[in-house]
């Protein structure tokens, strides 16, 4: 299982993918808000979304797993 983690602490604004979606390396998969700035989160590897780990609006720590890929 491969994970996509939060690059910064902030609020998870939205996921741009859903469970079962195929993602490619470099594709934006989520949007965070930190210090009033929108921070896109991109996949570092290709895979299929197995699990979304938080609900939109959740506060996440730097390094928290946002998405699990299979």
CATH number at residue 53: 2.40.50.100
pLDDT score recorded for residue 61: 98
Contact yes or no for 31/41 (Cβ under 8 A): yes
pLDDT of 18 above 90: yes
59: containing domain: 2-69
pTM above 0.85, yes or no: yes
Mean pLDDT, the chain, whole residue set: 97
Question: Domain count of the chain?
Answer: 1
Cα(18)–Cα(7) distance, integer angstroms: 20
pLDDT per position as a tens digit, 41-66? 999 999 999 999 999 999 999 999 99
pLDDT score recorded for residue 1: 83
pLDDT score recorded for residue 45: 95
């Amino acid at each position: 299982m491969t994970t996509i983690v939060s690059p910064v602490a902030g609020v998870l604004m939205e996921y741009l993918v859903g469970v079962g979606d195929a993602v490619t390396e470099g594709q934006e998969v989520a949007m965070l808000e930190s210090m009033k700035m929108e921070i896109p989160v991109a996949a570092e590897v290709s895979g299929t979304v197995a699990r979304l780990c938080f609900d939109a609006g959740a506060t996440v720590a730097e390094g928290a797993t946002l998405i699990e890929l299979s």
